Amino acid sequence: MQPAVCWWRNVRRTARALPSASFPEPARRLHKLSFLPNSTSTRCHSSFFAATDGQRFCGAHLSSVSSDSTFLRPGSCSSFKHSVKQFANHAPTMTASKYQVAERGVPNSTDYRVFFKNENGQSISPLHDIPLFANEEKTVYNMVVEVPRWTNAKMEISLNEGLNPIKQDVKKGKLRFVANCFPHHGYIWNYGAFPQTWENPDHLDADTGCKGDNDPIDVVEIGSRIAKRGEVMQVKILGTIALIDEGETDWKIITINVNDPLADQVNDIADIETVFPGLLRASVEWFKIYKIPDGKPENQFAFNGEAKDAAFATKTVADTHRFWQQLVHKEVENNGISCLNTTVDGSPYLVASDAADEVFAKSATGGNPEPASEALHKWHFRSENSYSKL
């Protein structure tokens, strides 16, 4: 299938789910022109998931410093940006967000942190104080977004710091960025974690034969909207991929925002290929190769890389939620994880709100920003299990 046909089929499908006003004429016209039948791309998913609207049509460069900031070249099409904003703001919402984010430290520095506060402005932990479930029926989950789609900065919930803020991972004293492994740019979905979950490093998983990686369970969200760093998004589970990362089980739960225009059409792992053709295959490829530019071998998978269905994934999440309950109630060793929380009844780590606010107040406010990483603008091309950089 030609990239233009693939992409436009999804747009038509989305359009049927939204009022006609959701696609202003300038946006429809520019979308059509950007995917001409003689496109040089040969991969359906590479064209459909290649850049944000503003970046493709206005020539923007991605910024890892802020999830919602872009740097546009002179002559960018401001009228189109307005059209895209009108489309993005039209999406329905499940509920108003109960959470706020508070940035501390200088962006693009080792001191930068994203803290979380509840609707009353009190400091909380995104790992312990945001519930796993977003509804009473326990069918919708809260996902904490660490990395918005198309960005490269390897942001993650800090496990060993009080209140577990989001920070950028550091390697050899330098901020970490994932490389652009052709044809992918940065992370190809919104990426984050489920709160109140933990992959126990002392538990040998019967399905994978490996122990957990000592992190909350990872989540990818495949919907159309680019999330913001620190956003708490309501998602439903579609399936999972079992990555084996350096000998540890590292589950990747595949989800979609319940407010996405296509969410009703995607309810299990088999639906992804129908509605988002090529994306599941691209996701497995991304996890396999993304560390190769850093000099590491391909990642391996349980089940030969086959994605498991929603029922399997739901059970896996339930297991990690049970492990978290043991962790936060001090039934097992905390393995260096800060379990400071303000809401978990019976937890020995429970503190009053003023004590949590004090932790936030003592966090760093300065920092020295690093120069922009070359990873933001370089392509890496695969050749015999290694990557050459362009």
Q: What is the rounded distance in angstroms from the CA atom of residue 22 to the CA atom of residue 31?
A: 14
Task: Decide if 155 contacts 181 (C-beta within 8 A).
Answer: no
- Which CATH number characterizes residue 273's domain? 3.90.80.10
Reported in sequence order, the residue ranges of 268-307 that DSSP labels E, i.e. its strands, are 300-301
Residues 187 and 180 sit within 8 Å (Cβ to Cβ)? no
Q: How far apart are CA 226 and CA 60, in angstroms?
A: 15
Could you tell me the residue range of the domain that residue 144 belongs to? 135-339
Structural domain includes residue 74 = no
Write the CB contacts of 335 (distance below 8 Å, at least 6 apart in sequence): 201, 214
Structural domain count, the chain: 1
For residue 85, what pLDDT is reported? 36
**Main-chain phi, psi angles of 97, to 5 degrees:** -65, 135
Q: Is residue 54 part of a domain?
A: no
Mean pLDDT computed over 72-95: 39
Q: What is the pLDDT at residue 62?
A: 32
Q: What is the pLDDT of residue 125?
A: 98
Residues whose CB is less than 8 angstroms from the CB of residue 381 and which lie 6 or more positions away in sequence, other chains included: 182, 387, 388, 390
- DSSP character at residue 177: B
Domain annotation covers residue 356:
no
Residue 374, both tokens: 């070359």
Taking only the tens place, the pLDDT of each residue in 256-301 is: 999 999 999 999 999 999 999 999 999 999 999 999 998 999 999 9
Between residues 73 and 189, the one the model is more confident about: 189
CA distance 285 to 223: 19
In a domain, 310, yes or no: yes
With helix as H, strand as E and coil as C, how does 141-153 read? EEEEEEECCCCCE
pLDDT in tens, 178-208: 999 999 999 999 999 999 999 999 999 999 9
* Inside any domain, residue 84: no
The CA distance from 141 to 234, in Å, is 6
Query: pLDDT tens-digit profile of 20-53?
Result: 444 344 333 333 333 333 333 333 333 233 333 3
- How many helices, marked H, and strands, marked E, lie in the chain? 9, 18
What's the mean pLDDT when you consider all of the chain?
A: 81
| Chain mean position to CA 191 | 1
Per DSSP bridges, beta strands 379-383 and 180-181 are parallel
Q: What are the pLDDT digits (tens) for 330-382?
A: 999 998 999 999 999 999 999 999 999 999 999 999 999 999 888 788 999 98
Residue 240 domain-assigned? yes
DSSP codes joined into one string, 329-382: TTSS--TT----BSS-TT-TTB--HHHHHHHHHTS-----PPPPPGGGT-EEEE
- In whole angstroms, how far apart are CA 171 and each of 105, 113, 154, 177? 19, 17, 11, 10
Give the torsion sign (CA, 256, 257, 258, 264).
Answer: negative
Among candidate residues 302, 85, 292, the one with its CA nearest the CA of residue 209: 302
Confidence of residue 18 (pLDDT cuts 50, 70, 90): very low
| 62 close to 68: Cβ distance less than 8 angstroms | no
Residue 373 lies in a domain: no
Whole-Å CA distances, 190 to 232, 249, 283? 12, 21, 12
Task: Tell me, yes or no, whether 56 lies in a domain.
Answer: no
Closest CA to 252 of 301, 319, 294, 311: 301
